[in-house]
Amino acid sequence: MPGKRLFSYLIALVVLGACGAVSPWQAPHYQEHPLAGRIWNVAEARFADKAELIAALVSADFILLGETHDNPDHHLLQAEIVSAVAGAGRRPMIAFEMFDMTQQQALAEHLKTSPEDSAGIAEAVGWRKSGWPDWQLYRPIAAAALHAGLEIRPANMSRAQARGLAQHGLEGAEPDFIAGLGLDVALPAEQQENVRQEIDDAHCGYAPAEMIDAMAFAQSARDAHMARTLNSGAKEDGAILIAGAGHTRNDRAVPFHLRRMAPGRSILSLAFLEVSEGAPSPPAYAAPFNSQSLPFDYVWFTPRVDIRDACERFEEQLKKMQEGKAAAKNQL
């Protein structure tokens, strides 16, 4: 480093030191938590460093990166991983849960005319109407992928399809559609019960009891659809999935379907989990998954975006949805 630049660098370090360290995190809560920033190797029950994790990811055919949707740190770390995997010479396809099949054409057309324009994706696919958190949160992942020349695809089935399944369950669906997703073979009973529990918990007891089976079926169908997208889009360089952590759990979600669809190909599931107050050790984070152990290969702990009670937030969201529906009705 030339003398003048080295000097400026040292001055910057001194100033930063005097002002206190700049936090590497965007999420505001529990940045000082003992697990924040640590990586946990689940099978070996020990902490791992980033080099070990990247090496494991680079050698897997399917790389599943499970997130909390509104946590910007999760997306920045996903983007870092995409760059690291591409930097190691891999060119996997990358599929997003947040895009569905109805957006496939618009996404492909946009990327054909503007192959590096990650910002323009939002408008091209009508992201604002989709209900997902701001595109700016996801944009770093898309930017890293496009910079590396990776193909981006939607992973999810359409909302209309999922709603149809949630209303009518297996009986309401075309047999070919079900067979194409491999859902004619039921999940093992224990895992089915685990999905039902997830649906019940996620809707804070508001999901009508008589609908839970069909909603659980819709959730599994989404998993199977994402697995099929990964398997069909993956060439020799494999594929990466960006999805909620629940979809990336090894015991029953996308990995379960991938194992059936692509036997012999390797899968690595990394979940980014937000730390909780009073939970200083990794095994404590298995309970929210209704599981004895963490259902991932690795977990990367980060600070938390929102410390309000999850069901309080659910009720707020539900109220907004109901107000939106009432406003739309009044306009007719």
Site residues for ligand HEM, window 212-241 (CB under 6 A)?
A: 215, 218-219
What's the CA dihedral at 146, 136, 231, 40 to 10 degrees?
110
- Three-state secondary structure call for residue 153: strand
Shortest approach of ligand HEM to residue 327 CB, angstroms?
A: 16
- Whether the CB-CB separation of 234 and 93 falls below 8 Å is answered with yes
Per rule CB under 6 A, count of chain residues that contact ligand HEM = 16
Q: Token pair of 18, please? A: 């005097």
Return the number of the residue (84 or 218) whose C-beta is nearest ligand HEM. Answer: 218
Shortest approach of ligand HEM to residue 70 CB, angstroms?
A: 11
Site residues for ligand HEM, window 293-332 (CB under 6 A)?
A: 314, 317-318, 321
77, burial (CB in 10 Å: exposed 0-12, middle 13-18, buried 19+): buried
State the CB neighbour count (10 A cutoff) for residue 277: 10
Site residues for ligand HEM, window 28-87 (CB under 6 A)?
A: none
Among the listed residues 61, 100, 198, 297, the single contact to ligand HEM using CB under 6 A: 198
Shortest approach of ligand HEM to residue 102 CB, angstroms?
A: 13
Among the listed residues 246, 255, 295, 303, the single contact to ligand HEM using CB under 6 A: 246
From 63, 67, 57, select the one nearest 243 (Cα to Cα). 67
Q: Does 101 bind ligand HEM (CB under 6 A)?
A: no
Q: What angle is formed at CA 108 by the lines to CA 269 and CA 128, rounded to 5 degrees?
A: 75
Among the listed residues 106, 170, 178, 202, the single contact to ligand HEM using CB under 6 A: 202
- Three-state secondary structure call for residue 64: strand
Shortest approach of ligand HEM to residue 121 CB, angstroms?
A: 22
Among the listed residues 82, 166, 243, 299, the single contact to ligand HEM using CB under 6 A: 166
Q: What angle is formed at CA 288 by the lines to CA 301 and CA 182, rounded to 5 degrees?
A: 100
Q: What angle is formed at CA 107 by the lines to CA 104 and CA 113, rounded to 5 degrees?
A: 140
Return the number of the residue (143 or 215) whose C-beta is nearest ligand HEM. Answer: 215
Only one of the segments 27-35, 104-112, 131-139, 159-167 lies at the binding site for ligand HEM (rule: CB under 6 A); that segment is 159-167
Shortest approach of ligand HEM to residue 309 CB, angstroms?
A: 12
Residue closest to ligand HEM, measured at CB? 166
Site residues for ligand HEM, window 129-148 (CB under 6 A)?
A: none
State the CB neighbour count (10 A cutoff) for residue 298: 20
Only one of the segments 102-110, 156-164, 225-233, 290-298 lies at the binding site for ligand HEM (rule: CB under 6 A); that segment is 156-164
Among the listed residues 50, 147, 203, 265, the single contact to ligand HEM using CB under 6 A: 203
Secondary structure letter of residue 49 according to DSSP: -
Beta bridge pairs of residue 298 = 41, 270
Query: Which residue's entry shows tokens 């990776």?
Result: 150
Return the number of the residue (50 or 203) whose C-beta is nearest ligand HEM. Answer: 203
Q: How far apart are CA 51 and CA 168, in angstroms?
A: 47
Only one of the segments 51-59, 114-122, 198-206, 223-231 lies at the binding site for ligand HEM (rule: CB under 6 A); that segment is 198-206
Q: How far apart are CA 48 and CA 172, in angstroms?
A: 46
Q: Token pair of 320, please? A: 């907004």
Residues forming the site for ligand HEM (CB under 6 A): 159, 162-163, 166, 198-199, 202-203, 215, 218-219, 246, 314, 317-318, 321
